[in-house]
Structure 1
Amino acid sequence: TADFALEAMRSGIPNLRVTGVDISPGMLAIGRKKVERKGWTDRVQLVEGDSVDLPFEDGTFDAYTVAFGVRNFEKLEAGLTEMHRTLKPGGMGVVLEFSKPTVFPLKQIFHFYFHTLMPGVGKLVSKDAAAYSYLPESVEAFPEGDEFMQIMQKCGYRQCQMHRLTGGIASIYTGIK
C-alpha cells in the first residue's frame, strides 16, 4: 500500500526517487491514491510485479526494502536472488520481517497471543479462524536469524547482518551486493 515508499519520501533525501513493487493490483491502487494525495507522483512509481521476475534491468537500484513480505514468497531463494540482481554493485537489501522472541516472558506472551488469542478472536469476529492462523503459521515457518542470513549469502549477498527489534518480535536483515 506504498507505506514504506511514502516513509522513504519523508526522509527528506534530495532528489530521492522510489519504486514500489507489489503483486497485488488492489494494493497498488490503494498505494497510488496515497502517493497522489501527497503530490509525489513524479518521484514515486508503483509497479505490478512478482519477486521472482522483476521488470527491471540488472543493477537498477541503490537499495531495496521489503517489509513483512519476504515471509510470503513462494520461492524464497528465487525472490532474494532476483532482488539481488536489480541492485547496483555495493547496493543494500533490507528486509524487515517478523521473528520469534526468545526471552522470557515475551516469548510466552507472543506465543499465547499469536497461537491462541488472535485466532480465537478472529474466529469470533469473522467466523474464519484460518484467516487469522495464517500469520502465526507463516512466522513459525520462516527461516529466521542465522538460517535466513545463510540463504541471503547463498543468493549472493555479503556482509549479512541481523538486528532484532522489539524484544525479537521483528528483525531487520541487511546484505550488500
Structure 2
Amino acid sequence: MSEHKSTEPSKTTHFGFKTVNEHEKEKLVAGVFHSVAAKYDVMNDLMSFGVHRAWKRYTIEMSGVRTGHRVLDIAGGTGDLSFAFSRRVGPTGKVVLADINESMLKVGRDRLADRGVAGNLDVVQANAEVLPFPDDEFNVVTIAFGLRNVTHKDVALKEMLRVLKPGGRLLVLEFSKPTNDLLSKAYDTYSFKALPVMGKLVTQDADSYQYLAESIRKHPDQDTLQQMMYDAGFERVTYHNLTGGIVALHRGVKA
C-alpha cells in the first residue's frame, strides 16, 4: 500500500508585489533590514525630509505614556520611540524594545547605550505574531512602520491585545493611503522612481527600497486596518491621517 502524501498547497503571501510562500517571507524581510540597518536612520531622514520625526513625536504624545508605565515598542528597530518612552516612564517604569531582526536590534542597542539609556529598558528579539510576554503586561504597545512587514497581521494584533493591560492602548504608526488624488500620484512617482535611486546611492541597495514602496501599496488602507483592530478585539479604534494620509496613526484600547 503506497504512502499517502498531502497535496495541500503551501500557503502564499505577498512580499511587495511578489507572491511567495509564507515561510519564505520572514527570511526575505529579514534580508531587507539586515541590508539597510546601518544606514536606516539616514535613509529615514532623506526619504521623509525629516518629517518622520514629527510623526513619531505625535505618536508619543497620543500614547499617554507617563511615569511608571510599562511600554512595548514592537519593530522598534533603531530605538527612536524607545528612547523617548524611557525618558517618560522614568526609573519606576519599563520599556521593552522588540524587533524580529537581529541587525536592527544591534544598531538600536548601540544607539541607546550611546545616549545613556540603561536601567529601565530591555532589548528583546521577538516575532510580533508570537510575543514572549505574559498576558496583561503593558500599559502601552506601539508598532511604528512595522505592521506592513508582518505576514499574519490579524494574529499579531491579537497578540498585542493579549499583552496589554485592561485599559491599555495600542498605537500603530504606518504608511497608508493618501486622501488626495494629486498627492497620491506624486507620491507614487516619488516612491517608485526616487526611493530605489536613494537606496542605491546611500545603502548600495535599490531592491530593498523597491520593496519598501511595494509593501506600502499592499498594506491595508485606513478603514480596513481600523476594522482589523476591531476584529482583533480592540475598542474605541480611531485613526488620524498625517501628511495627507501618506501616514496614519491608528489607536485602539483594550477593554
Aligned counterpart, 1:163: 240
In the alignment of these two chains, the number of paired residues is 177
**Alignment of 1:21 onto 2:103:** no
Within a 5 Å distance, the mapping from 1:17-166 to structure 2 comes to: 17-120=94-197, 122=199, 129-166=206-243
Residue 10 of structure 1: CA displacement?
Answer: 3.7
Q: Please say which structure displays the higher CA radius of gyration.
A: 2
Alpha-carbon distance between aligned partners in 2 of 1:117 and 1:46, rounded to the nearest angstrom = 34
CA distance in 2, matches of 1:128, 1:42: 36
Deviations 1:67-104 (A, max 9, x none): 10001001111111111100001100000000121215
- Contact 1:21-1:46 at 8 Å conserved across structures: yes
Q: Is the 8 A contact 1:59 1:87 kept in 2?
A: yes
Moved more, 146-155 or 3-12: 3-12
The CA distance in 1 between the partners of 2:105 and 2:194, in whole Å, is 31
Structure 2, gaps ≥5 residues long: 1-77
Cα distance, 1:128 vs structure 2:
5.5
Identity %: 38
Post-superposition offset of 1:135? 1.0
Residues of 2 paired with 1:150 and 1:157: CA distance?
Answer: 9
Aligned-partner Cα distance in 1 for 2:120–2:90? 12
Tell me if the contact between 1:35 and 1:44 (Cα under 8 Å) persists in the aligned partners. Answer: no
Pick closer, same or farther for the CA change 1:147–1:24 going to 2, 3 Å: same
Residue identity opposite 2:218 in structure 1: A
State the 4+ residue runs in structure 1 displaced beyond 6 angstroms: 124-127
- Of the structure 1 ranges 69-78 and 106-115, higher mean CA displacement relative to structure 2 is found in 106-115
- Output the CA distance in 2 between the equivalents of 1:5 and 1:57: 20
Unaligned residue ranges in structure 1 (runs of 5+): none
Change (3 A) 1:37 1:125: closer
- Cα RMSD over matched residues? 2.0
